[in-house]
Structure 1
Amino acid sequence: MANLQNQRTKKLIFMGFRELLAKESFSKITINEIADQAMIHRSTFYTHFTDKYDLLNQYLAHQRTNTEFNSEDIYEHPFSSIAEINNLELLPLLKFQSDDADFRNGFFQFVIDTVMENQDDKTELDKFFFIGRIKAINLWIDRTKQPYNPFVDYVYLDKVFRTGKK
């Protein structure tokens, strides 16, 4: 019974969080807003999550489990695979949140966790080099004010990932 109640509470929190992400930038969303949206007490939030970054990570992991995910594709087409992981339901939220640096950092931490937890034939070093290339592209976009959005221009960014050229 307690497990069902925990699942129900998490689902309410996820639904409330999703609604907030659709209308407000992640960095401005507070725990109180999340709790109010989910119709729970603030302390109940902390029973399930350490902070809003933990909520973001668990929410994205929950979304990933609801989609087909081929771990080999991510190494060949990382940005397209990220878009597929987050399916059509989540993609509008990613686009809306794409200018929020806190959201992007939390999202790419989720990608790093996904790659590192993945049980495949890649060595840890291979995985770290892969993550480094993704991070390098994101830094290149941010630091040089490139007009590319990882949540929209994923086909082009996959080309940059493979070739190392603009």
Structure 2
Amino acid sequence: MASQQAARMEKNLQQALLNLLAQYPFEKITIQQIAEETMVNRTTVYAHYEDKFALLNATLQTQFTATEIAPEDLKTKPFTSLSLLCKGTLTQAVERQRNDMAFQTAMMQLFFHQLKQTDVVPTGLPEYMLIWRVKAVMHWVRETQQPYNLYTAGSILDGLTVHANELLDSRL
């Protein structure tokens, strides 16, 4: 019974965070706001999660588990996979978090964690190059103010990445 209550509370806390993410940048959200949104005391939030980053990671993990992203797609179509993750429940939250670095970092941590869980575990240079490629595209979009939304332009970004890799290969 206690585990069902804990699971229900964690689900409520995650939903509260999603509601807040649709309204405020993640970096501005506080544990107090999450507690108020859930109608519990701050200590209840801390009883389930170490901090707001742990709650965000759990929320993103729950959302990832609910999608049907094939493990191989993480390797071959990382941005399309990210776009698929961001549909549905996460749509409003990711739109609001488009420029929040803490949120982007959490999304990347989720991506790398999921990649490690597959049979394409990043142990060799090609797998680490994939990680570099994803980070490089995210940095390029942000720093050069590209019009692409990292969370919705998956197939476009995957296509641009393939094209850039082909250009690099042709020059070598």
**SS at 2:11's partner residue?**
helix
Q: Give the 5 Å matches for 1:72-83.
A: 72-83=72-83
Letter in 2 for 1:93: A
Superposed displacement of residue 144, structure 1: 2.1
In structure 2, the residue matched to 1:21 is 21
Q: Does 1:91 align with 2:72?
A: no
Q: What does residue range 96-107 of structure 1 map to in structure 2 within 5 Å?
A: 96-107=96-107
Determine if the alignment matches structure 1 residue 30 to structure 2 residue 30. yes
1:43-58 matches, within 5 Å, as 43-58=43-58
TM-score (norm 1): 0.90
Q: Distance in 2 between the 1:127 and 1:53 partners? A: 26
The answer for the alignment partner of 1:119 in structure 2 is 118
Query: In 2, Cα distance between the equivalents of 1:49 and 1:143?
Result: 33
Q: TM-score, normalised by structure 2?
A: 0.87
Aligned to 2:5: 5
Q: State the structure with bigger RCO (CA 8 A, min sep 6), 1 or 2.
A: 2
Q: How far does the alpha carbon of each residue in 1:8-53 deviate from its partner, in whole angstroms, 9 at most, with x for none?
A: 1101101111111111111111110001111111111111111111
CA gap of 1:48–1:128, structure 2 versus 1, over 3 A, is farther
Check conservation: 2:14, 2:59, Cα contact below 8 A: yes
2:63 is matched with 63
State the identity %: 32
CA–CA distance in structure 2, aligned partners of residues 24 and 2 of structure 1 = 32
**What amino acid is the match of 1:120?**
D
* CA contact 2:86–2:152 (8 Å) conserved in 1: no
| Equivalent residues, number | 165
Larger radius of gyration: 2
The residue matched to 1:124 in structure 2 has which SS?
coil
Q: Is 1:115–1:127's contact at 8 Å kept on the other side of the alignment? A: no
Output one character per residue of 1:106-138: Cα deviation in whole Å (capped at 9) or x when no partner.
Answer: 22122122112x231445224322111100111
Most deviating of 54-63 and 97-106: 97-106
Structure 2 gap ranges (5+): 168-172
